[in-house]
């Protein structure tokens, strides 16, 4: 990546304010871009934009390509003439600071249906041409995803591996049968993806015009119940019944004594290599159409991955298996060029992972909350950094900085105060300042830290499956004092 001192904020779309239960690509997103510009930030980092499934996690999606329809802005559909103000139901009352998937879906999907029908009936020739172009350009994933989603709804949301045998195994007659039977539903889901991509690209262009780059996130794995696993079963480690032989996770670590059992199917890397990693190339290309910079989550899984026997209840009994990361990344670079990638290299990093990261000059990640555990050889302390890294106060998987400090041990608090002087009441700003002042080329803070919020506003607690991904910012939370303070630190440290 280009060596330039930059700073930015981690703020997912779902966490934006908005009147319809979840953040969207509407006015509040554009206002957030204006806030970034006013505070002189250059990076807006978001979590994966995928169509979420189990537990609302953006790291467990129904597709590695399709966007989350709930991010589509209703007001923009009204402005486009696809909905009327009178279509908006007053039967729903939404929490301002928490996202409710079920309620939001019940509210939005009937409106999406109306907008889709209106678009297909009355859109201009130019709009229909753009829709056809979108469908053609994204045919690699769009056809399979829309068929998958339509069939899934047809079978009352059952996962694909519980569907009837013929369609589970994608027999040609079954594909033809359901493609015809559900053609209107398939068209609806295509139209939704068109709305999603059109609105997002307009927002991204707006941010780019302000000099703000979008830092996106790509999970290494896909969900078992996903269009990718169903449509490309041959590139995963499935047995003859399409059941995983082993699944993904990580061994016991900082976050969990029993490890983390993610349950994602593992790639059949040998089969992928035989195709010159075609599926991965298409995935990376799709992501770079959406983002300017890409963070690869669980980067170490490209060097070696933790394989847990399918059916185990914890990740303890897994084992490390080598992966062809060097070969994959060589193909990506040869086909797409030296694209800006950040390696999520947290946890125990062995020499092979470091070598893979450094051979492509990918910056790794430094987390300030990990820096003060009393360890003498802690490589998260700022004086150990090189320029080619990204420093965070914390990530979506950490407690907020305020919550982290309040729950720290006295020994850890002593280590913090020995390293730099500050008032405990402003610990969030002090860690932001420490990040901004470091030699790291890029520094990022979650929005919760900018606002000085506590543990109740944490985004995710790894190893848990409920109560996560809910937080939303209050509409009036950002004020001029915050803008000026952030701008001051950004100017002082020349970011």
Active site residues: 297, 344, 397
Tokens 């520094």: give the residue: 443
Tokens 């169903």: give the residue: 230
The conformation of residue 366, written as its DSSP 8-state character, comes to E
Query: What token pair was written down for 30?
Result: 């554009």
Q: Which of 325, 343, 318 lies closest to 256 in space, CA to CA? A: 318
Query: Are residues 29 and 205 in contact, defined by beta-carbon separation less than 8 angstroms?
Result: no
Q: Give the C-alpha separation, 171 to 179, whole Å.
A: 12
Q: Which of 218, 298, 222, 292 lies closest to 49 in space, CA to CA? A: 218
Strands ordered across the beta sheet of 304-309: 260-265, 246-250, 304-309, 319-322
Q: At what angle do helices 278-290 and 183-209 cross, to 10 degrees?
A: 50
Number of DSSP helices (H) and strands (E) in the chain, helices first: 18, 12
Q: Give the C-alpha separation, 98 to 479, whole Å.
A: 21
Q: Give the C-alpha separation, 335 to 375, whole Å.
A: 42
State the DSSP H helix or E strand holding residue 260, giving kind and residue range, or none if neither: strand 260-265
Q: Which of 478, 235, 375, 196 lies closest to 486 in space, CA to CA? A: 478
Q: Give the C-alpha separation, 67 to 58, whole Å.
A: 10
Q: Give the C-alpha separation, 158 to 148, whole Å.
A: 11
Q: Which alpha helices (H) appear in 54-100, and where do they start and end?
A: 74-79
Q: Give the C-alpha separation, 431 to 490, whole Å.
A: 13
Q: What angle do CA 468, 471, 474 make, to 5 degrees?
A: 175
Residue 48 sits at φ, ψ, to 5 deg, of -55, 140
Q: Give the C-alpha separation, 72 to 152, whole Å.
A: 21
Distance, C-alpha 321 to centroid of its chain: 25
Query: Are residues 110 and 28 in contact, defined by beta-carbon separation less than 8 angstroms?
Result: no
At residue 135, the 3 state secondary structure works out as: helix
Burial of residue 127 (number of CB atoms within 10 Å: 0-12, 13-18, 19+)? middle
């Amino acid at each position: 990546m280009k060596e330039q001192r930059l700073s930015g904020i981690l703020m997912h779309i779902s966490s934006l304010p908005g009147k319809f239960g979840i953040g969207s690509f509407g006015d509040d997103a554009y206002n957030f871009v204006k806030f970034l510009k006013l505070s002189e930030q250059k990076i807006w980092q978001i979590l994966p934009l995928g169509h979420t499934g189990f537990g609302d996690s953006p790291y467990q999606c129904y597709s590695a390509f399709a966007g989350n329809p709930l991010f589509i802005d209703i007001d923009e559909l009204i402005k486009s003439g696809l909905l009327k103000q009178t279509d908006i139901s007053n039967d729903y009352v939404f929490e301002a600071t928490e996202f409710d998937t079920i309620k939001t879906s019940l509210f939005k999907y009937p409106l999406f249906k109306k907008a889709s029908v209106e678009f297909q009936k009355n859109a201009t020739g130019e709009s229909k041409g753009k829709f056809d172009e979108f469908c053609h350009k994204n045919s690699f994933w769009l056809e399979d995803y829309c068929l998958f989603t339509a069939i899934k709804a047809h079978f009352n949301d059952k996962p694909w591996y519980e569907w009837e045998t013929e369609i589970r195994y994608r027999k040609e007659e079954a594909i033809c049968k359901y493609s015809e039977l559900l053609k209107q539903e398939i068209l609806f889901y295509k139209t939704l993806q068109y709305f999603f991509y059109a609105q997002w690209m307009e927002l991204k262009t707006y941010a780019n015009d302000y000099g703000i780059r979008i830092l996106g996130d790509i999970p290494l794995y896909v969900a078992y119940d996903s269009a990718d696993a169903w449509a490309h079963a041959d590139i995963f480690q499935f047995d003859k019944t399409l059941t995983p032989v082993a699944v993904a996770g990580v061994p016991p670590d900082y976050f969990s004594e029993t490890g983390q059992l993610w349950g994602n199917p593992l790639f059949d890397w040998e089969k992928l290599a035989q195709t010159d990693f075609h599926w991965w190339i298409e995935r990376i290309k799709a992501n770079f159409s959406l983002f300017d910079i890409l963070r690869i989550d669980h980067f170490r899984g490209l060097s070696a991955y933790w394989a847990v026997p399918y059916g185990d209840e914890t990740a303890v009994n897994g084992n490390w298996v080598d992966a062809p990361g060097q070969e994959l990344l060589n193909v990506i670079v040869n086909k797409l060029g030296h694209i800006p990638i950040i390696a999520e290299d947290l946890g125990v990093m062995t020499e092979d992972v470091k070598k893979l990261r450094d051979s492509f000059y990918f910056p790794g990640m430094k987390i300030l909350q990990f820096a003060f555990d009393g360890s003498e050889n802690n490589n998260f302390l700022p004086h150990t950094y090189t320029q080619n890294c990204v420093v965070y106060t914390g990530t979506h998987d950490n407690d907020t900085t305020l919550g982290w400090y309040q729950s720290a041990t006295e020994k850890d608090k002593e280590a913090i105060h020995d390293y730099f002087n500050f008032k405990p009441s402003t610990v969030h700003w002090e860690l932001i300042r420490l990040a901004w002042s470091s030699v790291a080329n890029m520094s990022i803070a979650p929005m919760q830290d900018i606002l000085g919020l506590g543990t109740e506003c944490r985004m995710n607690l790894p190893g848990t499956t409920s109560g996560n991904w809910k937080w939303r910012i209050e509409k009036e939370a950002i004020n001029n004092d915050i803008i000026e303070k952030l701008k001051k630190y950004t100017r002082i440290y020349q970011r």
